[in-house]
Chains A and B, each alone.
Chain A
């Protein structure tokens, strides 16, 4: 009888435990939702993306066009028909900001995802197998890292004189070294752990171990890195486009909208403000989100309530 009750107790306890013990990812999501700063960052980012990708509708409603040069140039903000004024060619500043957002955000997101995929794959492979390939990759990383990142990108961008698509590929193919280092290091330590040894013992293939057993443990690193990387790439793209070797006009990006603004400080000071502010705000939100994710995934973070 006594034994039965304990068994019953155990069962109910166990059932409760299964119900209340969430996965690391669920825990992280729950913590993130409680983090006001991170939520604010997400809301701002989503709003900006919606505004950028809703640009065709918004500009239609306002009756403006990013390429039309019919209006007078250097109209100040709050001019009739042009809420943020017009630029040196008489194009509507707001419309151009919205369309530029599409390009800048797309380059940031896509290039970061590309570099992440490359970085994680190479990191997993070299960390897991080691050997000659590992040595070569490490040499390659040291070589790439021994030239300031911005210089390499600057040169390649100038040589290829890319459009937005090429720029995504260039930035994606150059930005992977940091992720690779992290993932490689983590994989090196994970592959000695018991669950990997047991997976190997029951005959799992290396590919299966890498992608089914090791990769899920890297989810926190990957997400934190993604947020930061998008921010870094948006900054790099903006600098390149500002210097005139990134995306070229008439396609607007937040970076190239600032090119040449120095020469019309007196006539159109408002043109300097908004593009930079939007870059800054986007990158700031991404960094804050990256920080929030780091805290959310940190198992030592104390959960209140």
Chain B
């Protein structure tokens, strides 16, 4: 098990490199580049633009930019002016804070050492600090929607399988297709319109708690009313997915020999379905957890934007529209890490639950 986990983690390294190189290439392909977005729009003089580009290192060759971002700028340092303090490096240091003096080498440690650089906005703070503030809100939403999709989806799937071909099965089948086909942002808008815009005011709208960024929020159980709508919006896809998957899995299991044995022993249908069937049918659900993390992350981007939720998804959308590259790169890499870990976790879970499965 440990060996397998280690191997999978090592296999993830080239994938993460691939992700970082691909995203970096996309960034470099941007017409006008980040300078365009940063300097006061199209009215900036070419000289201002040139200065900005030089200051932030966008004039260096792409591989230098990439390596600096990845490794930091304290590699191969030398002392240029002979005062005994190293002040130049192979990966030219930058003047990110804009005081006219390049930061001494070593200021930027590179992504490999957990330094994602400074955000272009957010008061030019460290990207990692900005992201750290946003994680709790997204985690709250992500975990609650995952829990809701499991708690709603699995029982629906079980009941649909037991009543195969019946009314409940057909109704939930249609509902699942409907949930998959409904545009997430439209669902969010319609719910906002229904609960807030029409003046019903059944649920509190908008920001769950602005102070989440400062850690001064009331405990989660007092904020549940704020969570209901966004959680439901993200969970729709999961409910549809889990219910269909559970139904298929249970029907698959119901043809197994041990189910026939259980029936032959004279056990009641209820025990056969819910004890013998459901337990075994739950095993493959573990493989579905990996993909559902991707689903939750994508859903979070749109849902957090609509509900003004101060999480990572909304920050990603903002960063993209502001062309805030350090933040975009960090979010993409973190999404990749989360996805890879999610898949790994579900594979390991799968093997832990079912001893018949060998991880090789």
Do the two chains belong together in a single complex? yes
Give A155 to B182 CA distance when docked, in angstroms.
23
A288: chain B residues at CB < 8 Å are 177
> CB distance A146 to B336 under 8 Å?
yes
> CB distance A279 to B180 under 8 Å?
no
Given contacts A146-B336, A158-B321, contact A151 B331 (CB under 8 A): yes
B19: chain A residues at CB < 8 Å are 143, 146-147
**Is B302 part of the binding interface, using a Cβ–Cβ cutoff of 8 Å?**
yes
Interface string of A142-162 (1 = CB under 8 A from B): 111111111110111011100
> CB distance A147 to B339 under 8 Å?
yes
Return the chain A residue nearest B187 by Cβ: A276
> CB distance A280 to B335 under 8 Å?
no
Given contacts A143-B15, A149-B298, A284-B177, contact A155 B320 (CB under 8 A): yes
A119: chain B residues at CB < 8 Å are none
Return the chain A residue nearest B12 by Cβ: A146
> CB distance B189 to A262 under 8 Å?
yes
Given contacts A139-B15, A258-B185, contact A158 B340 (CB under 8 A): no
**Is A74 part of the binding interface, using a Cβ–Cβ cutoff of 8 Å?**
no
B321: chain A residues at CB < 8 Å are 158, 243-245
> Which residues of A (256-288) have their CB < 8 Å from a CB of B?
258, 261-262, 265-266, 269, 272-273, 275-277, 279-280, 283-284, 286-288
Give A291 to B177 CA distance when docked, in angstroms.
10
**Is B150 part of the binding interface, using a Cβ–Cβ cutoff of 8 Å?**
no
Return the chain B residue nearest A161 by Cβ: B31
B180: chain A residues at CB < 8 Å are 287
**What does DSSP make chain B's interface, helix, strand, loop or mixed?**
helix
> CB distance A276 to B177 under 8 Å?
no
Give the interface segment out of B58-66, B95-103, B193-201, B350-358.
B193-201
> CB distance A147 to B335 under 8 Å?
yes
Give the interface segment out of B22-30, B123-131, B253-261.
B22-30
> CB distance B22 to A269 under 8 Å?
no
**Is B294 part of the binding interface, using a Cβ–Cβ cutoff of 8 Å?**
yes
B302: chain A residues at CB < 8 Å are 150, 239, 242-243
B181: chain A residues at CB < 8 Å are 231, 235, 280, 283-284, 286-287
> CB distance B185 to A142 under 8 Å?
no
A146: chain B residues at CB < 8 Å are 15-16, 19, 336, 339-340
Give A199 to B264 CA distance when docked, in angstroms.
51
> Which residues of B (7-57) have their CB < 8 Å from a CB of A?
14-16, 18-19, 22-23, 26-27, 29-31
Assign chain A's interface to a size class. Answer: 35 or more
A113: min CB distance to chain B, Å: 20
> Which residues of A (110-155) have their CB < 8 Å from a CB of B?
139-140, 142-152, 154-155
A178: min CB distance to chain B, Å: 12
**Is A98 part of the binding interface, using a Cβ–Cβ cutoff of 8 Å?**
no
Given contacts A150-B301, A158-B323, A284-B177, contact A276 B340 (CB under 8 A): no
> CB distance B183 to A159 under 8 Å?
no
**Is A238 part of the binding interface, using a Cβ–Cβ cutoff of 8 Å?**
yes
A282: min CB distance to chain B, Å: 8
Residue from B23, B186, B301, B336 in contact with A276 in the complex, judged by beta carbons closer than 8 Å: B186
B175: min CB distance to chain A, Å: 12
Give A273 to B192 CA distance when docked, in angstroms.
12
B180: min CB distance to chain A, Å: 6
Return the chain A residue nearest B322 by Cβ: A158
B306: min CB distance to chain A, Å: 7
A262: chain B residues at CB < 8 Å are 189, 192, 306
A139: chain B residues at CB < 8 Å are 14-15, 18
> CB distance A148 to B335 under 8 Å?
yes
Closest 4 CB pairs of A and B: A276-B186, A265-B197, A143-B18, A150-B298
Give 20 new A-B contacts, CB below 8 A, not counting A151-B297, A235-B183, A283-B183.
A146-B19, A147-B339, A150-B301, A151-B316, A151-B331, A151-B335, A152-B332, A155-B320, A158-B320, A159-B323, A231-B181, A238-B185, A238-B186, A239-B183, A244-B321, A245-B321, A255-B183, A262-B306, A265-B196, A273-B190
List 18 interface pairs A-B (beta carbons < 8 Å), by A numbering: A143-B22, A155-B23, A155-B320, A155-B328, A159-B27, A160-B31, A238-B185, A242-B185, A242-B302, A243-B185, A262-B192, A262-B306, A265-B193, A265-B196, A269-B193, A269-B198, A276-B183, A287-B177
- Mark B residues whose CB is within 8 Å of A: 14-16, 18-19, 22-23, 26-27, 29-31, 177-178, 180-187, 189-190, 192-193, 196-198, 294, 297-298, 301-302, 305-306, 316-317, 320-321, 323, 328, 331-332, 335-336, 339-340
